[in-house]
């Protein structure tokens, strides 16, 4: 998604009232199930990870370099996804 689409999607998710932790746990469990069923490959999981990083990068602290912020998120998310694989 480009930045405008990402911002619109962000607004829609907020308006829908999703709670961050519940949504994150649900998505991680869904990824786990789909990987176990061999429905998702590594490329699909990477696209999921990138979408999450894009969303979270919209609200990064201004004092943190964007590339550093994205790399830290990628590392953390990779651990979560690998843990649930």
Q: Do residues 81 and 28 lie in contact, with contact meaning Cβ atoms separated by under 8 Å?
A: yes
pLDDT surpasses 70 at 78: yes
Per-residue model confidence as pLDDT tens digits over 22-66: 777 788 889 888 988 999 999 999 998 899 899 888 888 899 999
Q: What is the pLDDT of residue 1?
A: 62
List, in order, residues 6 or more apart from 78 with CB less than 8 Å away. Answer: 49
């Amino acid at each position: 998604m480009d930045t405008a689409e990402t911002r619109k999607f962000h607004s829609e998710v907020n308006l829908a009232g999703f709670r961050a932790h519940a949504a994150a746990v649900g998505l991680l469990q869904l990824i786990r199930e789909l990987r176990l069923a061999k429905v998702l490959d590594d490329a699909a999981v990477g696209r999921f990870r990138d979408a999450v990083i894009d969303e979270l990068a919209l609200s990064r602290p201004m004092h943190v370099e964007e590339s550093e912020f994205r790399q830290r998120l990628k590392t953390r998310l990779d651990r979560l996804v690998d843990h649930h694989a």
